Structure 1
Amino acid sequence: MHFKWNYEPPTQQERLSAEELGEKLSLSPVLALLLIRRGITTESAAKRFFRPQLADLINPFLMKDMDVAVDRLNDAIGRKERILVYGDYDVDGCTAVALVYKFLRQFYSNIDYYIPDRYDEGYGVSRKGLEYARDTGVRLIIILDCGIKAIDEIAYARDLGIDFIICDHHVPDETMPEAVAILNPKRPDDAYPFKHLCDCGVGFKFMQAFAKNNGIPFSRLIPLLDFCAVSIAADIVPVTDENRILAYHGLKQLNQNPSTGLKAIVDICGLNGRELS
């Protein structure tokens, strides 16, 4: 199949804007025009595009229910409740589980993880997973990359005495599950300014908020950013705004000091020693 690519010539205003931006940043006219067409029209925006800074990450507490989610997690840790980190079986779900589990495991030992079998249990909250939680004494499930439509399953979990914190990025239905907290920037009632996080990104924001609330240095999260980079690529979310920051610094981590599992995949693929981009 052949495609014909149509190029729309720049308008006079675009040319003028590109010329002005190019002069400020010492860029070629072509590169400056590409920035203008991406909506990057100011010197500061261009600098953020080329050199994304972790300091520009959005305050995680702007996400609806974030304060409730952090409070419930703190309560679980204070009461020494068993916590289960549950996630979807795709790349976004697995990296989200790895990020949240690895971060929390540094500070709390009564924690487990669960990823359902794709063929045996299917997508979402499975009855088998809930039975595993019940049988192992779980009182709080942090669910990642699924759960936003699991109304019946989460109601059943409540009957078992198990609370849910949902971290999802899929568009919710009008009626959402009765979870303790629902972290999802695509909620219609959520004013969080960036709507296109992958779910590993949502999990990262949760851990960022938890760290901030508990006086844990942000630097403790940086070694886990490689999970975000892989998730952003695999889930094909827009590499803009927060995703661009997480991907940029995640790739640096992946190249310099990757997590054990990702390092193994890099080695198996024969990419060891090559710069990943």
Structure 2
Amino acid sequence: MGGVLVQDIKLALKGHVQDGYNFNPVSPLSEGDRHYNKNPTPNDRVQVLVCVVPADTLSIMSNEVVQKFRNIREEASNLKIPQLAILTKTDIEFPEVKDLKDVYRSRYMKEKMQKFSVDVGIPMNCIFPVRNYSQEINMNNDINSLILDAMKDILQCADDFLEFTQDQSGRSERKPVVWMEKFSANVGIPMNCIFPVRNYSQEINMNDDIDSLILDAMKDILQCADDYFEFTQDQSGRSERKPVVWMEKFSANVGIPMNCIFPVRNYSQETDMNDDINSLILNAMKHILHCGHDFLEFIQDKADSS
């Protein structure tokens, strides 16, 4: 990574670099080079950007390399290319993780992932720690599980990107993805961090499809908020955090009544939907939407009376 020029990687993202080109650490690829592709097709362009970083180099990564990561990621964002990262050699950097099923429970690993996320701008839910095969003679299901999980998300992102960028000509209807792409390009938020949802309006009963979209968005929002809070909080002398204490303190500080503060539990390592977690989130969303509805009725009544 340190010896590859950012200009060349940007050209590769756009499909201008042909197979067989040896990256030159001194001079970038020029249009006159035989490996320069003047007319790249969609198949030549990059569908997903994956940064593979050895976990044992995170602590010694120079500012120059971090800046290169950021520059390349920003160019990928401009091209609407999704970005992910894979942390390899986690067994070397985090030897305390004996059971790979606990890989996401290591506080030290989470802190390293959070710092990397903040430094380069890749969201936490797009960073995948894996363990390398080194001295193993046989296949290991736990190692395979981490690798396959990362590959599944990489391929899904690539597939989504191809669908997002396909030719929309001849379609009369407005595709949500078109507006998502435009919004992403305008404000710089990656496509995989934008969540389309449908509002409750005239529905009398709960709707599973609407709930699913809302829960998916809320799950990622809460996870990002929780990751940021844990990354920035003062760790000194805290053995446990009592929800009601923090709710009361938050209420006193910002002036929001206690009955308008809703504690919820994040989805983190769950593989299936959890009714208790859903109940808390849906209860909060129900009150939020109800307040929004009341406000609209209030505004409408004032407008009618005037």
TM over 0.5: no
Q: TM-score range by the shorter chain?
A: under 0.3
Larger relative CO (CA 8 A, sep 6+): 1 or 2? 1
Q: Larger % of strand: which? A: 1
From the CA coordinates, give the structure whose radius of gyration is larger: 2
For normalisation by structure 2, the TM-score amounts to: 0.22
